[in-house]
Amino acid sequence: GGRSGREALPPIAAGRPPIAAGRQRYLQECDNHKKAPRPLPIAMGSSPKISAANKELVDHELLAVAALLDEVQTVEEVDLRDNALVTDRSLVVLLKKLVREPLTATLQKLLLGGCLKAGPHAMDATVSVLKAGSGLRHLDLSHVTIPAQFQLPLCQAIGKHASIETLDLAETGFAYHDLTRDCLGAIMSSRTVKSLDIGWNNFNGEVFNALGLHVVRNSTLQTLRVANCASSVDICPSEDFVPPLSRFLERLAHDKTLTMLDVSMNRCDFRTALILEDSLDTHKKLKELILTDNPLGVLGMRSILRLLSRDHTGLVSIETDGCYFGSSSDNMPVFTYTNPGGKYNLQLWRPYHRALLRMLYKVMDRFGLDPTEAFLKINYKLKRNQVNYSHPTKDYIGVWQVPEEGDLTVVFNVDRAIYKRFFSGGTKLEDADNVGFLDAYCMDMKFTPGFKKVIPLLARFRQMNSDVLSQKVYVASLAKDFLMKPAYLSYMCKCAPGMTSYLVSMLLPTIPGGKGVMFCSGLHLGTLNEFLTTHETMRRFIEFNPQNPTAHYKLDLSNPTDYAVAERLLLLDRWEAAVDQKHGRKDISMSGNRSHIRNEKYLGRPLGAMYESVAEWKITESGEFEFDYVSNTRPKRTMTTVSDGLWDDILAELHNSALAVVDKIIVLRSCSHLFYITASQMRSLIGYFKDEESRAEILVLFYMRMVDMHNAKMFRVRYANAWEIKALQTRIGYACFFPFLQPENAKFELDLRVYDQRLCASMFVQLATKEKYPHNLHDYGYRRADGTEDLMPLGVPRSWAEINGIPKEGVFRAVYRCAPEDRNFAHRKEIAKTYGFFDVDGIKDEDVAWWTGLMEPPEDVLNLLEFFISRYENVDQPFVEIDGVDGNGCITLRELLEGLEEMGCKKFDKVKGQKMAKTKEQRIDAIFRYLDPGGEGSVSRGEWNMLQQLWAEFDLSIREFVHFLILTFGTDLKVAWKALDDDGSGELTEEEWLDAVAKIGYFGPAKIVFALLDTTDDGNISLTEFDVLENYKAERFKKKPS
């Protein structure tokens, strides 16, 4: 019957559709060149795309692919990227086929990036495609050299294209700057391009400036890449160098559309970073910023991190690999966010300087200051001609329109801001609340990362986990201007456990909270070695006591914790200057600039030679900064002082402690703000420190903690050497250390070039005119600047009572003496209040412990006093004996001579075999003249009482010596005698005595103690004479009767 199934099926060949001519040619070309056909989607008929990226095509293969286009009606994509062997021979054919309809309407992507042999004909054909094609959205010509004659036509075609969105022209040979400006203008005229990559071309400053203007005018561009475009022509070592990219970045202040910006490898340094921060600090749409391989350094990174951390910006991602090394900021103005005050020399043709000036105006705005309050000492020059400077205004979007030419020198002043914020604003602080001020100021001025920005900020740190060096620079960028939290430090320690010590030492100053935070942060340190290393690094920060900052400082500004101390002291200086202004206080600063910082040096050179005030100096991030700080805080007289019993316990602990002297001072400094002391307690404290430097440190530390400054002479007399007093005057200030209530016997030598030394001279002369002028000024003289002497035969000019009447050069010296009856106590209190800021209201003459030091009078006055002490209970008794019971209350020289003779005083008699420079009468005459400072020719009872003051000093010196012996050997003084009389001879010569007391660590007036104990005047002390010290024990140490 019928046909079989096999015979019923048609042959395979007969059922195969014919191969299209284009595909047949493609296969034939592959066969001719002995290459396997590539499974290109369009050749297989599976896709309307020519996806041949990185296929190493050659011309005949691409020609074969082009033949396929004759048979298709749709081509969505032509991707020939990285086919470096194809040339114009095949590219032109392919591109021309794309011009025909309907392919022009369907083509969306034309990707020729990396076709390195594409020539001018291919570019011409590409222009044709652009002109003909209406559907193209993506064009990639990266790494293809576009001949100059085709650059502008190509860019014009792009600009006029109706749909192109993504454009990649990286490394295409844009280098002719005039032409490049026109090309960029044509591209940026497009209303459709959203993403543009023009990196790896060669732009100078003018091209970048034009690009910035075009970007601002364009309302559609969202992604812009300009990597490695900074022209090497603009890069030079001269001081006139302006980073090319800076002009472009400055224009971005007016952009509102960019969401991504790539400026990597453009030689951006800290200056460019500040421009970027200034321009983008209100940009709400920019989310990603790529800065890879730019020499930002710490300063530049700080600007970028501030920008990232702003809550009101849209930035959430930064790429900063390779940005952690940068150029130095030497000799360049630098913006400091925390303390922007200082002197600025700005060349306004530089974009960086303009950005810095805008940042200052923003600070002014934030504080609500008027430009006339914030900007002082303005000097503005145009073409070397001084002209008036007009403060800029904001434009329609809030950008300060600062001048773009001229040289501007200005001092930016934060004092008024502090005054408004803390005295007339909402925050009210006590004058002495230094910690409260620093905390409030840092909350205002340090940069606090926004809540939404903490994650990207810390995430960036974590991403650098394997790059320790980059992490260190990142942390250093956070260590100055940022206000961190303990949780941030904890997280970073977990991310980088090997950097815990570094993280703690760098970031602890950025975390508010005081000692509690310091303790908790120390818990991150896992080993004793880590703790000791960190503690040594942070030593000066840990020791710093802002509630009693008066001290000498030598700080290494490259150490962030030392920098933090310097920064805090500079801020306290401005705070206390504002307090002075609030109370209308006199200027008693060293240089007449109201600063509380004295003797400031940077790198060993006085800052006063370069700046009128340290407030004008911009703190640097390296070098040694050395200075003295003197606080204006003064205690009220009513403050409760340490009880004598507790004070004795403190002194005992000091004496018995095995700590080094420097460590004892550190301990005292840490708690010095917790208590107040009296002048007598200050005196006893000084006595426990042997070397002059330690005694000076102790006095400076507690000078502002004394409640009875009117008794200051009690401790001043312990400084026997004139150079010690000179050193204290230099450190504390000549006005502040002025002997206000008891200037008697004060010697001074004043360099009139220095403001506060002129002030000191005027105070002395003013006091003399109010008491007894000119008699109270003795041994005066004036050495002119040329070295010649003026002995002032007509006396010290009265005009010197005013500081403006004193010459500003030369050296003035004098001694002040005043008889008790000539004292103008009211005026002394007035100058103490006016120039010392001390609380002296209500003090009466009888409240003052009138004092005279043992080193002040001539030696014979002390000899006379020793004679009286050995025979009388007080100095009144010998006065009455000399003057007579019915005397007139005054003693003449003759009466003194006769009286001493009748008393049997042999102190001034000539010793047989000993030569004497003066006769007995001459020696007593010298005593008389000392006791008669007014020169009336008689000694009143008040003048005679100077001996009582010396007697009190004698008595106190002995009691202090006894107290020292008790602390050292116990209450049994015989134990002390055995230690002193180590040879058991039963007697001590003066030489043996001085050696013995030095061995046990006593360094008070040992010679005077010896003279008082040697009642027989035989030059030896016996145990019997030593037993007299029992009478000088404090009551609690004396034996109770059984």
pLDDT tens, position by position, 994-1012: 899 888 878 778 887 888 7
Q: How far apart are CA 733 and CA 591, in angstroms?
A: 10
Predicted confidence (pLDDT) at residue 330 exceeds the cutoff of 80:
no
Predicted confidence (pLDDT) at residue 638 exceeds the cutoff of 60:
yes
pLDDT level of residue 666 (50, 70, 90 thresholds): very high
pLDDT tens digits for range 671-701: 999 999 999 999 989 888 888 899 899 999 9
How high is the pLDDT of residue 237?
41
Average pLDDT, the chain: 89
Q: How far apart are CA 977 and CA 988, in angstroms?
A: 10
Q: In the numeric block, which tokens belong to residue 687?
A: 């006595």
Q: Tell me the average pLDDT across 852-867.
A: 87
Ramachandran angles phi, psi of 784, nearest 5° = -70, 170
pLDDT level of residue 933 (50, 70, 90 thresholds): confident
- Which of 659, 692, 647, 668 lies closest to 1003, judged by CA? 692
Lowest mean pLDDT among 62-66, 250-254, 379-383: 62-66
pLDDT level of residue 22 (50, 70, 90 thresholds): low
How high is the pLDDT of residue 1015?
76
How high is the pLDDT of residue 81?
95
pLDDT level of residue 21 (50, 70, 90 thresholds): low
Lowest mean pLDDT among 11-20, 466-475, 894-903: 11-20
pLDDT tens digits for range 55-97: 888 888 888 888 888 878 889 999 999 999 999 999 999 999 9
Predicted confidence (pLDDT) at residue 168 exceeds the cutoff of 70:
yes
> For a pLDDT cut of 70, what percent of the chain falls above it?
94
Q: Tell me the average pLDDT across 904-909.
A: 86
pLDDT level of residue 955 (50, 70, 90 thresholds): confident
pLDDT level of residue 1041 (50, 70, 90 thresholds): low
How high is the pLDDT of residue 46?
62
How high is the pLDDT of residue 244?
86
pLDDT tens digits for range 696-722: 999 999 999 999 999 999 999 888 788
Predicted confidence (pLDDT) at residue 508 exceeds the cutoff of 80:
yes
> 């070295």: which residue's tokens?
787
What's this model's pTM, rounded to 2 decimal places? 0.85
Predicted confidence (pLDDT) at residue 1040 exceeds the cutoff of 80:
no
Residues pairing with 564 in the sheet = none
Amino acid at residue number 840: V
Q: Tell me the average pLDDT across 822-842.
A: 94
Predicted confidence (pLDDT) at residue 459 exceeds the cutoff of 50:
yes
- Which of 58, 196, 96 lies closest to 140, judged by CA? 196
Helix (H) or strand (E) segment spanning residue 580:
helix 560-583
Q: Tell me the average pLDDT across 403-427.
A: 83
How high is the pLDDT of residue 232?
61
How high is the pLDDT of residue 235?
46
pLDDT level of residue 44 (50, 70, 90 thresholds): low
- Greater confidence, 373 or 429? 373
How high is the pLDDT of residue 20?
60
- Which of 215, 213, 248 lies closest to 230, judged by CA? 248
pLDDT tens digits for range 99-147: 988 888 899 999 999 999 999 999 999 999 999 877 899 999 999 999 9
How high is the pLDDT of residue 735?
94
C-alpha dihedral (209, 210, 212, 216), degrees to nearest 10: 140
What lies within 8 Å, CB to CB, of 38 at 6+ separation is 30, 52, 55, 61
Residues pairing with 343 in the sheet = 411
Please work out, in degrees rounded to the nearest 5, the angle formed at the alpha carbon of residue 525 by the alpha carbons of 523 and 527.
Answer: 120
Q: Tell me the average pLDDT across 376-384.
A: 92
Q: Tell me the average pLDDT across 231-250.
A: 68
